[in-house]
């Protein structure tokens, strides 16, 4: 690992921890993404994590806060854009019809996207608005 990669890994670890401590599993390889999509039944929340400010101040807090809803996804996973590039790219392959976006979130059922929140619906929104967006999807699909 070169010094830049080591630095970025160290810098991004707290950003990863913020989701994993909330119960999210990290998918760090394309194979892990494929296995998750093909074998996971039920509803899932997928968070495309990133180091940007809107991920830190909006997306991750909203994802965590949304989990206090009565209805919530059966599975919680995350891929990290810019860190786990191949895994992120593979996950985006499953988001057919949606432009790549970091951060972003998707509610899936049996591997199919039912609800997608791109960066444009995260950046410049309040955490509560993003939580409402997620919980509305949970109430409909979970």
Q: Mind listing the pLDDT tens digit for each residue in 46-94?
A: 999 999 888 889 999 999 999 999 999 999 999 999 899 999 999 999 9
Instruction: State pTM to two decimals.
Output: 0.95
According to the model, what pLDDT value does residue 115 have?
Answer: 98
- What integer pLDDT is reported at residue 6 of this predicted model? 86
pLDDT at 141: 97
Contact 104, 118 (CB under 8 A): yes
Active site (annotated) includes residue 54: yes
Contacts of 91 (CB under 8 A, 6+ apart): 27, 33, 46, 48, 79
142 among known catalytic residues: no
User: How many whole angstroms from its chain centre is CA 103?
Assistant: 7
Mean pLDDT of 107-125: 97
The active-site residue, picked from 15, 32, 47, 52, is 52
Residue 38 has pLDDT above 90, yes or no: yes
H helices of 1-142, in order, are: 3-20, 30-39, 53-54, 60-66, 85-94, 127-141
Active-site residue, selected from the candidate residues 8, 22, 51, 54:
54
Residue 108: which of 129, 94, 123, 90 has the closest Cα?
A: 94
Q: What is the pLDDT of residue 7?
A: 87
């Amino acid at each position: 690992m070169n010094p830049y990669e080591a630095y970025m890994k160290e810098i991004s670890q707290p950003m990863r921890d913020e989701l994993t401590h909330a119960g999210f599993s990290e998918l760090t390889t394309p194979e892990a993404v494929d296995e998750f999509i093909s074998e996971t039944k039920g509803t899932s929340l997928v968070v495309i994590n990133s180091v940007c400010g809107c991920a830190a101040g909006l997306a991750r807090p909203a994802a965590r806060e949304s989990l206090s809803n009565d209805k919530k996804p059966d599975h919680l996973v995350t891929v990290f854009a810019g860190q786990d590039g191949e895994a992120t790219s593979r996950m985006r392959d499953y988001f057919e019809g949606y432009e790549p976006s970091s951060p972003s979130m998707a509610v899936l059922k049996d591997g199919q996207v039912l609800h997608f929140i791109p960066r444009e619906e995260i950046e410049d929104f309040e955490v509560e608005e993003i939580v409402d967006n997620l919980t509305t999807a949970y109430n409909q699909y979970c």
